[in-house]
Amino acid sequence: MFQIRIHGRGGQGVVTAAEILSVAAFDEGRHAQAFPSFGSERTGAPVVSFCRFDDRVIRTHEPVMEPDAVIIQDVTLIHQVDLFSGLSPDGYVLINSSSSFSDLGFGDFFDQYHIERLMTCPATQIALEHLGRPLPNAALLGGFAALTGEITCDAIDKAVREHFIGPVGERNAAAVKAAFDYVASKVKEVARASTN
Amino acid sequence: MLRQIEGSKAIAETVALCRPEVVCAYPISPQTHIIEAVGAMVKAGTLAPCEFINVESEFAAMSVAIGASATGARAYTATSSQGLLFMMEAVYNAAGLGLPIVMTLANRAIGAPINIWNDHSDAMAVRDSGWIQLFAESNQEASDLHVQAFRLAEELSVPVMVCVDGFILTHAVEGVDLLDQSYVDSFLPPYEPRQMLDTKAPVSIGAMVGPEAFEEVRYLAHLRQLDALELIPEIAREFFESTGRDSGGLVRPYRTDDAETVVVAMGSVLGTLKDAVDARRDLGELVGVLGVTSFRPFPSEAVRDALAHARQIVVIEKAFSIGAGGVLSTDIAIAIHHEQTLLRTVIAGLGGRAITRRSLEKVLDDASRDELAPLTFLDLDQGAVDRERARMQASRRSGPSAENLLRDRGTVSPKIPA
């Protein structure tokens, strides 16, 4: 079972992101589940969504308490919400930011984590470029595919096009690809640096 | 066809396959997505003939369903929480009149304090109304139960409520194998009313009944529910034989055969419980789970059979009778009636508090050591309760407890960066 928690703010497509990710996993033949954290949805309020996928039937309906990956759609949540609660030292973190991970001021918080699993991705910028709107959710899923390898970029691409019909789907798919390429190259960079 | 789909949408599409002729509803979270989706299908003409009636309240929703059903139409509605309470009088009427309305109840807590999240208080509030109440464990079962519900309701002339955990199921996107139209048409014959307002054969429905016959009318309703105890498993069996899916029925025992401890529950928590039980079984612990699918009628005999060998029964319920204790537990206690069995009640998941695997493990740990209290409130913040009790003791005007507790939790002014 692989479990993902997505943090963002109302209006950023946090719930949609989890749903699309679950559809992508489903399309790859896995069992998948996505659900929101069920707040009273308000634009700008902190929102959490969850996704889990597995090769076996998923019976549990508890929230994701110990995520394998955390996606942060809004970097301003860092001071407001316990974003990394339950995240194991083997976990992945993908943050929507144009700063580098080490510049985000986490101090020694992530010392026990794998540095190649901690990434930022300028998803809002990528979204503005491709969609003309600051909606980072689809792009971050591309980045998630590149970071974790738990799902293919093709599956994300297909699920995004299923969800956003027509030109909007095209533009989101382009954002997915751009973010995938960005994170994939970062992952390679870190790998090269660590072997040198 | 297997689809990755939101629970509400799967329910709506399945309801549409049942060809309801009148749908009337008033939106309330977490039922809203179901009704929106049904409404959209009526508007698009993909669900036809069907009249979607926008009503001004839940009371009107159930009243319209009663009127529609009395004219021989297949009627459907859905609600939650306060919505159900607002239609309560009509809920009793639908059952008292014996009208086979099907209603989805997206289970949600009842205020005050206002709370939109899941528990089973709403269903429990109408458990004595005469409706059949079926609880879904997953979105697959939630969908399948609706087809079975229409069949059951119409065969017996009893309304059926399909209880689906609000948000946890209604808003979860999962794989659901949706039935196709030809299958549903073969499983669910056209509605043949037992009573009907018909100008060609006029009758009145809804007579005033005095002491001379009221008890008999009520007893007949009881007998129809007892008939349902036979019919529910029969319908589930037929459904299983034709679809291969184990949906519905009275109870669902899981690894109970040799279990010393059996956990009893209803709804979506059963999945999490089964995971916990499997892990314990791997360690050799003799634990099992009993899911109660049919809460009304209450399947006493099936429950008794499933729990016959258990030394300890732990009932986990998402509602309780304030001042008394568990609701489901009471029915279980009456069903088993042997005093040597330990019966433990755990109240959990109130107002949407997540029932985590970790907390369930703690319950099972305590149970395995015979340390579970007769009545436990899962994950209760005793400190917060004690502090409020102390405030009440210290000052006559201690103020509203709900607000005090929120302040105590720091929720009123959340953490904001300095």
Angle in degrees, 0-180, between the axes of helices A123-131 and A167-195, rounded to the nearest 10: 150
Q: What CATH number does the domain containing A38 carry? A: 3.40.920.10
CATH number among 3.50.50.60, 3.40.50.920, 3.40.50.1370, 3.30.499.10, domain B251-377:
3.40.50.920
Q: Which residues of B touch A34 (CB under 8 A)?
A: 172-174
Q: For position B413, what pLDDT does the model report?
A: 44
A133: domain range? Answer: 2-95+102-195
List the single residue in B175, B268, B417 with the smallest CB-CB distance to A26: B175
Hunting for tokens 């003409």 — which residue is that? B45
Q: For position A40, what pLDDT does the model report?
A: 62
The domain tally of chain A equals 1
ipTM of this model? Answer: 0.94
Q: For position A193, what pLDDT does the model report?
A: 86
Low-confidence ranges of chain B (pLDDT < 70): 411-418
List the single residue in A33, A35, A60 with the smallest CB-CB distance to B275: A60
Check B172 against A34: CB less than 8 A apart. yes
Which uninterrupted H or E stretch holds A92?
Answer: strand A92-96
Same fold, B2-243 and B251-377: yes
List the single residue in A27, A35, A59 with the smallest CB-CB distance to B275: A59
List the single residue in B117, B167, B173 with the smallest CB-CB distance to A33: B173
Phi, psi of B23 (to 5 degrees): -125, 125
Q: How far apart are CA B134 and CA B236, in angstroms?
A: 12
Specify whether the backbone of B24 is left (phi greater than 0), alpha (psi in -120 to 50) or beta.
beta
Alpha carbon B22 to its chain's center? 22
Q: For position B337, what pLDDT does the model report?
A: 79
Check B358 against A65: CB less than 8 A apart. yes
Task: Please tell me what DSSP assigns to residue B191.
Answer: P
Q: For position B112, what pLDDT does the model report?
A: 96
Check A61 against B356: CB less than 8 A apart. no
Q: Which of B2, B3, B4 to mutate to test the interface with A (most CBs of A within 10 A)?
A: B4
List the single residue in A26, A35, A62 with the smallest CB-CB distance to B171: A35
SS (H, E, C) A47-72: EEEEEEEECCCCCCCCCCCCCCEEEE
Strands, E assignment, B266-308: 287-292, 294-296
C-beta separation of B352 from B117 below 8 A: yes
Residues 6+ apart with CB under 8 A from A189: none
Q: Which amino acid is at B326?
A: G
Hunting for tokens 């258990």 — which residue is that? B310
C-beta separation of A142 from A153 below 8 A: yes
Q: Does A3 touch chain B (CB under 8 A)?
A: no
Q: Which residues of A touch B415 (CB under 8 A)?
A: 79-80
C-beta separation of B176 from A22 below 8 A: no
Q: Residue A21: which of A111, A118, A144, A110 has the closest Cα?
A: A144
Low-confidence ranges of chain A (pLDDT < 70): 38-41, 196
Check A80 against B6: CB less than 8 A apart. no
Phi, psi of A71 (to 5 degrees): -110, 125
Check A22 against B173: CB less than 8 A apart. yes
Check B357 against A22: CB less than 8 A apart. no
Task: Please tell me what DSSP assigns to residue A86.
Answer: T
Q: How far apart are CA A176 and CA A153, in angstroms?
A: 8
CATH class entry, domain B2-243: alpha beta
CB pairs under 8 A between A and B: 75
Check A33 against B358: CB less than 8 A apart. no
Chain B interface, Cβ < 8 Å to A: 4, 6, 30, 116-118, 138, 165, 167-169, 171-175, 268-272, 274-275, 352, 354-358, 414-417
CB < 8 Å & 24+ apart, contacts of A123-128: A123/A73, A123/A96, A123/A175, A123/A179, A124/A96, A124/A98, A125/A98, A126/A175, A126/A178, A126/A179, A126/A182, A127/A175
C-beta separation of B303 from B328 below 8 A: no
Check A38 against B269: CB less than 8 A apart. no
List the single residue in A23, A31, A63 with the smallest CB-CB distance to B354: A63
Other C-beta atoms closer than 10 Å to the C-beta of B134 total 30
